[in-house]
Every structure is written in structure tokens, then in C-alpha cells.
Amino acid sequence: MRVTVFGATGLLGQALMREWQHDEVIGLSSKDADVRKFEQVRAAVERTHPHRIVLAAAYTDVDGCETHRELAFDVNSRGAANVAQAAKQFGSRLVFVSTDYVFDGVSETPYETDHSRAPRSVYGRSKAEAEQQLGEILPDCCIARTSWLFGAGGKCFPDTILKLAGTRSEIDVVDDQRGSPTYSVDLARGIIQLCRRDATGIVHLINSGDCTWFDFAQEIVKRAGSTTVVRPTTSEKFVRPAPRPKYSVLSPASAQKYGIEMPSWQDALGRYLIERQDLRG
């Protein structure tokens, strides 16, 4: 199988390039092909002529999207449509990486794949629009939604907490937002399995279990052996430009249909800390 990965230098893209074995995988950065420009995307797909395309390129700065709305839609929505059009033209199958932010965050039970989209942020709306467009352009594409992504080789929540713990005796973390932390390595492995199993439709790929950001931070500090005290606080005390879902746990049922069982977020965190330490030498 020949695979082209758009967004190969991002957090997920790096993991995909490291984890993908026994196939011909070509990674593209924005310098190789800007997804906002159809001719660049078309040329890249024509050149690599993949059986599978994974679209991991995205503008993921949730607060930045609120300020730069046009950029968010250019990359996340129109860019995704460009890749889908090129995939359709050259007969490639597409896996598009989406997000829990397409939901409103008011549920009290895990979101199933057919739950209505109701995004509350610009980022969420740009990804929801992309999902809708891809469904029209490529009805047999696969949309892999994930949440709370973390991993080595880029900015993420555990890295931020560890850096704060290195300089502070106490840190405040919100305890009223709940989700499923997902390790880039496990997400990459899940996407690889989706490609090999010719998956279509919407699939939720998250590490198993759920927690609040406070719970997550406590576990990070504990595993790292830090003496920093983590204190719970509320979202109202940490006002951000983009609204955050209070509840964004995704149901794993769709992944299980493809025989994909994701490890727990606690197990994933342990492996991340080892990887992070290895990279730091």
C-alpha cells in the first residue's frame, strides 16, 4: 500500500511517520503542499499517487482560530475539501482527522458517531464543515475523530504541566471539563489499522477511560515524581477566547467494530513520559 500523509511534521504526523511500517509512506509538510491551494494539493497527489491519503494537516490553535477565523476555515475546511477533490480525481481513499470540538459538550454520556454536530467554537465549526463537505465529495471516506491529543515532539498538555511543575510549587487546573486524553502514538496506530481495514464513515479513536484536566495533571505530576501541588479550579477562572466543551468523551464503539481496542490513557501517559525523556536525552 502506498500512503501520503498531509501534515507529516505535526504532532500526529510525526507519530504516523514513525509508526507506519511495511508500506510505502510519503510525508508532506505545508512547504511541500499547502492544503489551501488546490493546484499544490493536486500536484502532490498526482506525484505520489497514493492508495490512501491521511489528512492530519490542520490549524489546531483553538484560541487562535477565534482571532483568525478565515485562516481556520481556509486550512481546516476548504483545505480538507481540496484534498478530498484531489483524492477523488486520482482514486485515492481518504482518512480525515477530526475532533471532539464538533460537539457542544453538554452531553452526560459518551458521544456516538451519529450524534448531531453542534460546535461552539470557530475551530469546531471549521472541522464540522469539513466533515460535511467530505461526506458529499467522498461518501466512502473515513473521518477519525479524536480528543485531547498529546505526544512527544510538540506542544501538548503534559509537556506544559511538566514545565510548570519545574518552576512552581502549586498550579491550578480546571476540574469541570471531562474528556479522554489520547496519545499521538496510539492514535497513529489506530489510523494505520483503519487504513488497512479499508474503514469508511466516522470512527472515534481515543484512549480508553476519561478524566478531567485536573485529574490528568495530577497523574502527570505524580508519575513525574514532582512535589508540585495541583489544585482544582473552574473554567470561569480561566477565561479563554474559545469556549471549551465541558464534556467531550467519545464512545469507542465505532473503533471496536473494526477490532481496534485503544489502551487506557494512564498506560499511554506512562509511555509518553518515557518517550519524552528519551528525546530529551
In whole angstroms, give the CA distance from residue 156 to residue 172: 17
Arithmetic mean of pLDDT over the chain: 97
What average pLDDT does this structure show over 114-121?
97
Domain containing 87 — which CATH number?
A: 3.40.50.720
The reply to whether 90 falls in a domain is yes
Whole-prediction pTM: 0.97
Per the structure block, which three cell numbers stand in for 44? 502532490
Is it the case that residue 279 has pLDDT exceeding 90? no
Estimate the crossing angle of helix 265-280 against helix 213-224, to 10 degrees.
50
Q: What angle do CA 95, 190, 265 make, to 5 degrees?
A: 130
Mean pLDDT check: name the lowest of 130-134, 147-151, 239-243, 248-252.
Answer: 239-243
The 10s digit of each residue's pLDDT in 263-274 is 999 999 999 999
Comparing CA positions, the residue from 117, 267, 253 lying closest to residue 207 is 267
b/e 101-120 (16+ beta carbons within 10 angstroms → b): bbbbbebeebbebebebebb
Is it the case that residue 26 has pLDDT exceeding 90? yes
- Domain membership of residue 45 as a residue range: 2-155+182-208+249-263
The reply to whether 191 falls in a domain is yes
Is it the case that residue 41 has pLDDT exceeding 70? yes
* One-character DSSP codes across 264-275: BHHHHHHHHHHH
What average pLDDT does this structure show over 193-217?
98
The 10s digit of each residue's pLDDT in 137-192 is 999 999 999 999 999 988 999 999 999 999 999 999 999 999 999 999 999 999 99
In the chain, % of residues over pLDDT 70 = 100
The reply to whether 17 falls in a domain is yes
The reply to whether 272 falls in a domain is no
Q: How many C-beta atoms surround the C-beta of residue 227 within 10 A?
A: 7
The reply to whether 107 falls in a domain is yes
In the chain, % of residues over pLDDT 90 = 96
Is it the case that residue 281 has pLDDT exceeding 70? no
The reply to whether 73 falls in a domain is yes
The reply to whether 140 falls in a domain is yes
Contacts of residue 74, defined as CB under 8 A and 6 or more positions apart, other chains included, come to 36
The reply to whether 224 falls in a domain is no
In whole angstroms, give the CA distance from residue 15 to residue 187: 8
What average pLDDT does this structure show over 210-224?
97
Q: Catalytic residue positions?
A: 123
The single-letter DSSP state of residue 248 is -
Q: What's the pLDDT score for residue 277?
A: 87
The 10s digit of each residue's pLDDT in 84-116 is 999 999 999 999 999 999 999 999 999 999 999
Total domains, the chain = 1
What own/partner pairs with CB < 8 Å and gap ≥ 24 does 74-77 have? Answer: 74/36, 75/35, 75/36, 75/126, 76/123, 76/126, 76/127, 76/129, 76/130, 77/126, 77/127, 77/129, 77/130, 77/133
Q: What's the pLDDT score for residue 280?
A: 78
